[in-house]
Amino acid sequence: MGEAKQRALARKSSSVGIDTYAGKIHVEWDPDAAVTPLGQLPFFIEFLKVSGLFDAFVQECPLSYNSPNAPKKRNVLGTLMLSILAGHKRYAHIAAIMQ
C-alpha cells in the first residue's frame, strides 16, 4: 500500500516552466521538503523579467564604471537585489552570495 501512494504522488508531481534571465528553468515541488525563505524566488525573477522592471531599473541607474576590469552594471545591481531578498542588512553580508 505504501508503494502505491508513492507512485500516485510521483504521477501528480509536475514541473512548472519559469522564464528567467538565464533561460527557462523547471521548478518542482517536494511536499516532504523543508520550506525555505527563497523558495518563491524563481517566480519573482520571472515577474521582474516579464514586467521589464529590472531592465528599467538597470537602464535608469546612474551607476557607471570606467575601468576595463569593472563588472557590468547589471551584475552589480542583480547581486545587490539578490542580497536584499536574502535578508542581508549590511554590505559585508553580500559576500555570502559569492560562496
**Per-residue confidence (pLDDT) for residue 39, from 0 to 100:** 82
Number of structural domains (the chain) is 1
Residues 28, 29, 34, 40: what is their CA dihedral angle, to the nearest 10 degrees?
70
Give me the pLDDT at residue 21, please.
87
User: Is there a domain that residue 83 lies in?
Assistant: yes
The whole-number pLDDT of residue 36 equals 81
42 within domain boundaries:
no
Name the residue range of residue 81's domain.
52-99
Contact 46, 18 (CB under 8 A): yes
- As a whole number of angstroms, the distance between CA 2 and CA 34 comes to 22
Let me know if residue 17 belongs to a domain. Answer: no
Residue 2's pLDDT is 56
Look at residue 41 and tell me if it is in a domain.
no
Asked whether residue 25 is domain-assigned, the answer is no
The answer to whether residue 74 sits within a structural domain is yes
pLDDT value of residue 48? 93
Domain assignment present for 26: no
State the pLDDT at residue 13: 57
The pLDDT of residue 52 = 95
Asked, for residue 56, whether it belongs to a domain, the answer is yes
What does the pLDDT profile of the chain (99 residues) look like in tens digits?
555 555 555 555 578 889 888 899 898 887 788 888 788 888 999 999 999 999 999 999 999 999 999 999 999 999 889 888 888 888 777 777 665
